Every structure is written in structure tokens, then in C-alpha cells.
Structure 1
Amino acid sequence: MSNPFQLSGMRYIKRIVVGNDNPQSMRTEAEVEEAITLVNRCLSGSPRGYLLNIEKSFGLYNIGEHQVVLQYAVYNIGFERKPLFLDDHGNI
């Protein structure tokens, strides 16, 4: 039987933003897809991460004559140790 989840065992937390959180630096669709793929890998790969929290937010911005709504989710995923596959990803 595997060990039960223990919050005190989380030694590394990865914060992954999915969506657009900065109107000055908009993410492309490919970058958003890459972030979603990373979330899925963290939750299903080895070592397996645990979803600790999801922050959901949105903002209304006026850019020139247009009003823009940006929404995003931030996934906080905890690990007992930092996975090696996270070394290839910069700040997603």
C-alpha cells in the first residue's frame, strides 16, 4: 500500500499559471497549451505531484478603446522532492 498524502511531506511546490495574467505580456495559445501539458505531467508523472490549491482570477483592462477580460488559473502542485523533468521548464 502506498503512503498516504501528508502536507508536511511537501518539500517542493511548483506554481503553474494557465491563461493570461499580464496584459503587457500576453501568452500565445501554444504557451497556454504547454502550461496545461505541464500540469497534467505533474499530476500523472513520476514522482507524482499533489494538487494543493487552484487560484482563479480575472481582470478587466481598458486598452485604448477596447475593454479586455483576462482570466487565468494558477495551479500549486506539491512534490516530496523536485522532479527532474521540471529542470527543463523555465518559469511557466
Structure 2
Amino acid sequence: MMTKPFDVSAVGYVKRVIVGNIDPEKTANEEEIEVQRQFLNRCLTDSPRGRIIGQEKNFFLLNIGEHQVVMQYIVYHVGFTRKPVWLED
């Protein structure tokens, strides 16, 4: 099955969707990350259907005692032709 090409000029609304730990002071648990993933999947499957038009990869370096911990997250830029009714800002 071949999909038609996505025209970026048709994007009328962009939503930033974060997946991962965004607060270095508090560690996100698996349930919180799963909620973030489900929201991203809803953006990509519900009507109007969004498309990923960009992404940012970010990380924090934390020093905990003698150990260094890397916490990372990804921000997806999801483009819609119009703002979905079910989406709150």
C-alpha cells in the first residue's frame, strides 16, 4: 500500500508531545511515560490524523554522589491540518 506524500504547507497546527523524563528533580515512572506514549499514539491515529514533522532529543546529566546519571527525553512535533477538538492546550 502506498501512501500519498505529506505536504508540510498543509500544516495548520503543531503540538509538542514530550515522551520521557523532563524534570531532573523528579524521576518519571513507567506509568507516566506510558501515558505520554498513549497521547502520542492518539495524536498519530485519531481524527484529524497528525504526522511527525520534527523531533528534539534532549538529556540531563545529573551527579548523584560519585555517580553520573543521564536522563533523556524526546519531543515530537506533530503537525495537524487543523487543531483537533479533543486537544487541550
Q: Determine if the TM-score, normalized by the shorter chain, exceeds 0.5.
A: yes
Unaligned runs of 5+ in 1: none
Q: Deviations over 1:20-63 (max 9, x none)?
A: 12212332321211110011111111110011012222222113
In the alignment, which residue of structure 1 is the partner of 2:39? 38
SS of the residue aligned with 2:15? Answer: strand
Q: After the TM superposition, which of the residue ranges 22-31 and 42-51 deviates more from structure 2?
A: 22-31
Are 1:27 and 2:42 matched, yes or no?
Answer: no
SS of the residue aligned with 1:22? Answer: coil
Conserved in 1, the CA contact under 8 Å of 2:16 and 2:75?
A: yes
Q: What is the TM-score when the length of structure 2 is the normalising length?
A: 0.81
Q: CA deviation at 1:3?
A: 7.2
In the alignment, which residue of structure 1 is the partner of 2:10? 9
**Separation (CA, whole Å) in 1 of partners of 2:42 and 2:26:** 25
Q: Deviations over 1:65-84 (max 9, x none)?
A: 44221011111100011112
Q: After the TM superposition, which of the residue ranges 64-73 and 78-87 deviates more from structure 2?
A: 64-73
The one-letter amino acid of 1:9's match is A
Give the CA RMSD over aligned residues: 2.1
Conserved in 1, the CA contact under 8 Å of 2:24 and 2:60?
A: no
In the alignment, which residue of structure 2 is the partner of 1:51? 52
SS of the residue aligned with 2:77? Answer: strand
Q: CA deviation at 1:4?
A: 4.7
